Amino acid sequence: MIEVVFGESSGGAIKIAKKYKNSSQPAASAIGFIGKQPTKEEYEEFQLDIAEMRKGEPIGGDSSEVVCLPFMFDIGDIKEPVCSDLRKEIICRMYSAADGEFKDSDFYSVFEEYKNELGKLKNFAESGAEFRIWYSDAPYSMCGFYFVCDFLKNYKCKISAIKMPLYVTEYFKNTHRITSWGEVDPSKFYKFLPFEKELSDAEINYISEVWNKLREENNPLRVLISGIVVGADENFYDDIIRKEIIKLQPEFSIGKLIGKILNKYSFGIGDFWYASRIKKMIENGELKLINDKEDYFYGHIVQTVIKN
């Protein structure tokens, strides 16, 4: 079974999950604490919780049977071929928006690895392999799911999919929402196997049609509204950013603003997109940069601009 995912952290997690082995090591050889020292009973309970967290099962196969396609299909032009220089430049701009020290040349070698992953997908399809797609409501993941269904439809391969549930109860019995398979511990992927659903030819063809309509529209963004991926303008999330700016004004760090947004809104949008839009607001005079002594963009201090 070939696993397909759409984020690098997801790819790393599922590679471990393929042949996961329970650890025989103690749950924690050293534990730090802040405040009051825990009692012996509390310490032992914590050790049991950690041990339970580590328990798991493999999902089968090995790490070579994982294809990771982190092409950010929710952003930018999707009419051009996926391995085009245009797609490379789009992803590179997103990385550089969040990291001022990011070098284009560093990413170009990484993009070659992305292209190799697409080649693996093609080779597996030509060999008649079976595929299992792991996706979520995050726009980049939904678009990746659409892309892969369109890519594989003519190979007549067996395709199944596992969509991340809206809410997950894990570890210390906390229920929370996650938008990326990279947030799931490798030991727990097996718990999602009952959600696997085989896709019929009719479903694959329908998804392919949806993807090609999105390609024809070719909006700057793809977003999720009421469970449906639709095209949108690049300023779609700007009002969310402005809403949080109002709460932080008059001045604040860019990192603090982005952190507030990510903690509050589970849109499955990367910090790099918010960083790129904040840069645009600075360029347009909506925000003013007042301290850029920190090399890292997130450490820069900005303030709102009051227009008369």
Query: How many Cβ atoms from other residues are within 10 Å of residue 249's Cβ?
Result: 13
Q: What is the pLDDT of residue 268?
A: 86
What is the rounded distance in angstroms from the CA atom of residue 76 to the CA atom of residue 143? 12
Longest pairwise C-alpha distance within the chain: 66
The half-sphere exposure of 46 on its side-chain side, counting CA atoms within 13 A, is: 13
Tell me whether strands 2-5 and 131-135 are parallel, antiparallel or unpaired.
parallel
Q: What is the pLDDT of residue 139?
A: 95
Domains within the chain, CATH numbers bracketed: 2-20+56-214 (no CATH), 238-304 (1.10.10)
For the chain, 308 residues long, the average pLDDT of each consecutive 10-residue run is 94 94 58 71 72 81 95 94 89 69 66 93 96 96 97 94 83 68 90 95 97 96 93 95 91 92 88 91 91 78 77
Q: What is the pLDDT of residue 166?
A: 80
Helix or strand or coil: residue 258? helix
Q: What is the pLDDT of residue 90?
A: 85
Q: Which residues lie below 8 Å from residue 225, measured CB to CB, with a gap of 6+? A: none
What is the rounded distance in angstroms from the CA atom of residue 30 to the CA atom of residue 241? 40
What is the rounded distance in angstroms from the CA atom of residue 19 to the CA atom of residue 42? 33
Q: What is the pLDDT of residue 173?
A: 60
